Structure 1
């Protein structure tokens, strides 16, 4: 009985130490990212992902960083490397956490980066995929503010492209902003981005 209790205590201690290392590593990676050290932050998230193969969030953040820094990148080789890496890590995250709306909108963001780089080449094939991804995400999480905001921005971009009014989507941005005030997740390091972006979009909405 004593051996069993000792084993349970040791296991609990080991798990607690592992969780502490995970939390410390994630906090350090976010600090690097906040200080504009995107390469270092990406590498830190990669190391955490390797050490924590059952957690989707480190993979998600590697994907997100490499996608965000690709917007505005005009070097095709560099952009390709970044977005391929983003997709590689996203695919692992999706395998760990299927039907995850945060991962669906991240996939759409990767597609958008390709379209932003060369709309003539990628727009026709990736635009329908994005429309489908946003429909899937909204069906899974109709009250997730990031999903609502991301879909609204995509719909606005499509409306502008075809010369249509973007005003009908302003109500979705308003809804997203309201939900940002109350949306919470019990999962540590769950995505929180979007509220500031919603305010920016709403300020110019319909103009």
Structure 2
């Protein structure tokens, strides 16, 4: 009788845990579907708030904070005021820092750090390249050493080269082969789950279209 009672208790615990995990995954999937630059700003703001609430509730998970950081970064690209851009990136950094130490060996966090540095450069590249340029490159180099198959490494690298003037070593001629490499990596890349990072293909295709490819 005791064995049956223990078995039923274990089944109940498992059922509750599964239900909670299923609810968490569904909430994340719904938010991730809207975490794109094409999403209208008001909805993207709500999406960032949704990730923030999930991150505050699921403190043991790193993905909600990752996506909150990424979404606030997207919002910074939509903003035109420099001060507001930096304020949004401050929020993005806040969530990145919450998980950076816990995920120090995770190539996706290295890529995110590079993306955040690139976003800071986009605000004022002329006055910030000495500070954020090395951060951008160092994190891409670390990510490449950890997982050279991550397509977002080459997307960010190619994107940076694309928008760098030719006289400083950039331009289409050097950027397009890197973006093409990113496209090749995207064909074989599979996220670890439906809520793990998988962004970037649309950005890469858009840039490649400017390369005539």
TM range (shorter): 0.7 to 0.9
Candidates 78, 84, 87, aligned match of 1:81: 87
Matched residue, 1:186: 192
Where structure 1 has 5 or more consecutive residues not aligned to the other structure, the ranges are: none
Report the Cα offset of residue 31 of structure 1.
4.7
Matched residue, 2:136: 130
Q: Given the alignment of the two structures, is residue 49 of structure 1 paired with residue 55 of structure 2, yes or no?
A: yes
Count of matched residue pairs:
207
Report the Cα offset of residue 203 of structure 1.
2.7
Where structure 2 has 5 or more consecutive residues not aligned to the other structure, the ranges are: none
- Greater mean deviation of Cα atoms: 125-134 or 106-115: 106-115
Per-residue CA shift, 1:56-106, capped at 9, x if unaligned? 111111111111121253423322221111001011232332222222121
CA distance in 2, matches of 1:137, 1:31: 25
- TM-score, structure 2 as length reference: 0.85
Report the Cα offset of residue 14 of structure 1.
1.6
- Greater mean deviation of Cα atoms: 109-118 or 36-45: 109-118
Matched residue, 2:183: 177
Candidates 22, 25, 41, aligned match of 2:24: 22
Matched residue, 1:97: 103
The answer to whether the 8 A contact 1:49-1:58 is kept is yes
Q: Given the alignment of the two structures, is residue 113 of structure 1 paired with residue 119 of structure 2, yes or no?
A: yes
The answer to whether the 8 A contact 1:134-1:147 is kept is yes
Runs of 4+ with deviation above 4 angstroms = 31-35, 163-166
Matched residue, 1:3: 5
The answer to whether the 8 A contact 1:72-1:117 is kept is no
Candidates 129, 149, 163, aligned match of 1:143: 149
Q: Alignment RMSD, CA only? A: 2.4
The answer to whether the 8 A contact 2:73-2:92 is kept is yes
Q: Does the residue aligned with 2:199 lie in a helix, a strand or coil?
A: coil
CA distance in 2, matches of 1:58, 1:50: 9
